A = this chain, B = another copy of it.
Amino acid sequence: MSKSVDYQGAWQLMMNAGTLALVSHLGPDGDTLGSTLALGEALKRAGKKVILFVDDDIPHTFRFMPGVETYQLPKADVPVPCDLTVVVDASSKDRMGAAEDCLSAPILNIDHHISNTHYADWLLLDPKAAATGEIMYLMFQANGVELTETMALNLYTAIVTDCGFFKYANTTSRCMMAAADLLQYSIQPNEISDLLEMKSRDTIELLAKVLPSMTFYADGRISTMEIPYELYNKEISTDSFIYYPRYIDGVEAAVMFKQVEPNQTRVSMRSRNVDVSAVALSFGGGGHVRAAGCTIGAPLPEAKKRLLEVLIKAVEEA
């Protein structure tokens, strides 16, 4: 069980250290990267020695973030001596990757996931924050840490990626106030959104092939899309595809079927209200009420048939 710390307590722990290792989580997103980069800059400005780790490739989309080139890959068998490890936006220890093995200093964890496993020695947790970037902003405010333009850009990117440009249910007035304040540091919201929205030509060309597979069931309340094995390419991001069927007038639940192996089909579901996590659970998957997924050990047509049986029932009973 971690010891809870507040904004002052967390900052004091960091001020008491000389050398700090900051760790972003596996599968890095805008929030873990932006929060870590802003914190790293604040600590360097406070005279600390800082090393940034992420045990993963940094997606192309986030390469514009100032300081992103200073990340190092942790090596499990090369211990890194430091006074404090700060793990940013990671709800469980395994999300540190190899950084878990090469760092042995006590851990401070700064996070906003309600599912946090309390693995750290000290924990600054606020599940009401839309992003860890919002917590970082509030911690800087509470400790009188001056922001720079690059810190503001990184924190703004952290916040907007995790609250879906203020469209997700986690968006609060406090989160938006933080973002509004960050806009005062001469950062350009349109340039940031441009960079974050950019998709690869491969992605849009695949979308063009996949979109015609859209099919409707249950009087238009269910909409499905399919990526058959012939079109599947793990290098091409398809995360955004589910939103096409999802945002059609009258659609209650949207499903994306992705045949990742001849006998394996990955299923993603999004709904307006129906509990799709219950549907996912019945196939050994999980998730949230309005966003869930599972993997079915069958070719796409059979997986689709089996899933639709359950989902149609769920939608009709809702």
> Which of chain B's residues have a CB closer than 8 A to the CB of A211?
204, 207-208, 211
Could you tell me if B201 and A189 are in contact, using CB atoms closer than 8 angstroms? no
> Per a CB cutoff under 8 Å, which of B60, B167, B200 touches A190?
B167
Find out whether the CB atom of A249 lies under 8 angstroms from the CB atom of B201.
yes
Chain B residues within an 8 Å CB radius of A214: 204-205, 208
Question: What's the least CB distance linking A202 to chain B, in Å?
Answer: 9
Instruction: Check if A166 sits within 8 Å of B169, measured CB to CB.
Output: no
Q: How far is the CA of A229 from the CA of B166 in the complex (A)?
A: 38
In the complex, which residues 199-256 of chain A have their Cβ closer than 8 Å to any Cβ of chain B?
A: 199-201, 204-205, 207-209, 211-212, 214, 216, 220, 244-245, 247-250
B173 A180 Cβ-Cβ under 8 A:
yes
Min Cβ gap A318→B in Å is 17
Kindly state the interface size class of chain A when it binds its partner.
35 or more
A205 to B183 Cα, complex, angstroms: 38
Closest to A184 in B: B173
Q: With A194-B272, A204-B248 in contact, do A173 and B169 touch (Cβ < 8 Å)?
A: no
| A176 and B179 contacting across the interface, CB-CB below 8 Å | yes
Q: Closest chain B residue to A272 by CB distance?
A: B194
Q: Tell me, in angstroms, the Cα distance from A207 to B241 when the chains sit together.
A: 13
Q: Which residues of B contact A190 (CB under 8 A)?
A: 167-169, 171
A160 to B164, CA, bound (A): 13
**Which residues on A are within 8 Å of B, measured CB to CB?**
60, 160, 165-169, 171-174, 176-177, 179-181, 183-184, 188-190, 193-194, 197-201, 204-205, 207-209, 211-212, 214, 216, 220, 244-245, 247-250, 272
Between A and B, 5 residue pairs with Cβ closer than 8 Å are A166-B166, A168-B190, A171-B190, A176-B183, A201-B249
Q: Other than the known A166-B166, A204-B211, what 4 A-B pairs have Cβ atoms closer than 8 Å? A: A160-B166, A173-B180, A201-B216, A205-B214
